Amino acid sequence: MNVGAGLRKSGKKTTPSHERIEVENLPAGKELTKAINRRIPLFSYASEQRFRDLFTTLRNDAQIQPTYLVLMVLSTMLAAVGLYMSSSAVVIGAMLLALLMAPIVALAMGLLRKEAKLAVTSIQTIVVGIFIALSAAGLISLLFPHKPITTEMQARLNPSLLDLAVAIVAGIAGAYTKSHREILQSLAGVSIAVALVPPLAVAGIGLGMGDFHFFSQAFLLFSTNLIGITLAAAFTFRVLGYSSAVRNKPGIALVALVLLAITIPLYLSYRNIVATTVLENSWKHERFLINNKYLIVQRADLMQQKGQDLLIVRVLIREPLTRNDLNTLRKRIESDLGSEQKIRVQVLYIP
């Protein structure tokens, strides 16, 4: 049977490309017409081309690549060494090397648009990165078994609602930066602000030390950052118009539920921080008369050591303190606190 040239041309089968961008969840039909005819405050709709560009970038970010693995090892090792040195500059350098922010932002898009493949791939990449970070930091801790806990480590052992606020703002900034290529270089600043790798490095050091409290508190901080960034980035992508309002509810609801659950320990930690600050301030410049020896408390710090509270008291005195004097001082402090307390006294003699 003879057919016309036009029919032959229209009847040609097209070979599907291996690389596809799923755009079926973009606003269409009545929803698109409604959006065109009525402007919705704050919420817009991204064009198909704009979405294709962003989705291609996020799909690449979600993949496990050699560069990602190498930089995760190097950034964690650098962060661990910087934590032992108590060097903020070294820790910041480790934040710049890490690529953990990219798959987290990709996960946010996957959950928002119910893209199962993107979400699962992102989760796999994040889990591999976490495992690498914990292992590398644990090995570093074995090289320094007798190094003391530094202030940089202590700063990541008390996560609170303030850390969640930082993570949410960083998630908004990360998603906004990803969707605007002209400001993509700002993503490094976002990585520094949220600090994903240092908490993982502290958690790995805790594993190497065999200290579960050390590990759990640092990992709680990382989990806070992870969940806060994911939820905030998903919401930002929604505002920027990368998903319809109808289809994104299940994924966002799941992240919000996890966020609500993690808020409880964060609130308890925040309340503990406030109580600790009040205690430390109340002990500053406190005066004692111990066995006819006059001493002044210069500073008091309450910290966690292997899951137990440790009160470190630095005192100024002119005369030497005997063991009996120290025991009397400890009993006086416990009496004022109303409970038994592990106390370490640091004595500074003045002329």
> DSSP assignment of 159-173, as one string?
--HHHHHHHHHHHHH
CATH topology of domain 43-279: Glycerol uptake facilitator protein (1.20.1080)
Instruction: Tell me the helix, strand and coil percentages in the chain, rounded to 5.
Output: 65, 10, 25
> DSSP assignment of 20-74, as one string?
----TTS--HHHHHHHHHSPPSS-----HHHHHHHHHHHHHHTS--HHHHHHHHH
Q: Which two tokens stand for residue 23?
A: 């755009």
Question: Which of 245, 231, 99 has its CA nearest to residue 171?
Answer: 231
> DSSP assignment of 207-239, as one string?
HHHT-HHHHHHHHHHHHHHHHHHHHHHHHHHHH
Q: What is the mean pLDDT of residues 272-298?
A: 76
Question: Which of 271, 310, 306 has its CA nearest to residue 159?
Answer: 271
Sequence spans of domains, the chain: 43-279, 287-349
Q: Would you state the pLDDT for residue 161?
A: 86
Highest mean pLDDT out of 95-109, 151-165, 197-211, 279-293: 197-211
Helix (H, G, I), strand (E, B) or coil at 246: coil
Please say if the pLDDT value at position 315 is more than 70. yes
Distances (CA, A) of 278 to 47, 207, 274: 53, 31, 6
> DSSP assignment of 61-108, as one string?
HTS--HHHHHHHHHHHHHHHHHHHHT-HHHHHHHHHH--THHHHHHHH
State pLDDT tens for residues 52-69: 778 888 889 899 999 999
Of all residues in the chain, what percent carry a pLDDT higher than 90? Answer: 22
Q: Which two tokens stand for residue 174?
A: 């990360």
**22 or 261: which leads in pLDDT:** 261
C-beta pairs of 184-187 under 8 Å, 24+ apart in sequence: 187/101
Confidence of residue 335 (pLDDT cuts 50, 70, 90): confident
Distances (CA, A) of 320 to 247, 288, 293, 302, 349: 73, 15, 9, 25, 8
State pLDDT tens for residues 208-242: 998 888 899 899 999 999 999 998 998 888 888 77
